[in-house]
Amino acid sequence: MIRPLASLTLVLVLATPVRAQQIFNFDAVAAAPTSHQVLLENESVRVLRVTIEPGATEPVHDHAWPSIMYFEKAQAITYISYELKNGLPVEARRIDAPAETLTGAVSSPPEGLHAVQNRGTETFTALRVEFKPQ
């Protein structure tokens, strides 16, 4: 009985540093694929359809490139920003935005770690055009 327990302890001790040093891919398509569908991608742009169901919060992700976001069906949202601490995302701030403020198109520089919660009663939908460096 002691031998299996010792083996388990050794495995846990050896695995811990690897897990702590793990590097995560926070790109929107990799980290939040349910809410970010690629409609078009080439060497210049990536076009995403962003959908978030009512009451849902998408996973933490980022956008490495400048972009334009066009709101198709805005809903009240909470924008949650994150910071990395010891390699893991930690919530830093929440901003509530009513649906009325999310109209038309907005431009954005590269966007750090964040998640969006749909507080509305319908699906939030938007198009995001990301501009890759040339």
SS3 assignment, position 20: helix
CB atoms within 10 A of CB 104: 8
Separation CA 128–CA 114 (nearest Å): 15
Measured CA distances, 101 to 58, 118, 119 (Å): 20, 14, 14
> Is residue 24 very low, low, confident or very high in pLDDT (cuts 50, 70, 90)?
confident
| Residue 63 vs residue 17, higher pLDDT | 63
> Is residue 23 very low, low, confident or very high in pLDDT (cuts 50, 70, 90)?
low
pTM of the model: 0.81
115, two tokens: 């998640």
What's the CATH class of domain 25-131? mainly beta
91, two tokens: 């919530």
Domain ranges in the chain are 25-131
Residues 6+ apart with CB under 8 A from 67: 107, 108, 111, 128, 129, 130, 131
Separation CA 129–CA 47 (nearest Å): 4
Q: pLDDT value at position 18?
A: 38
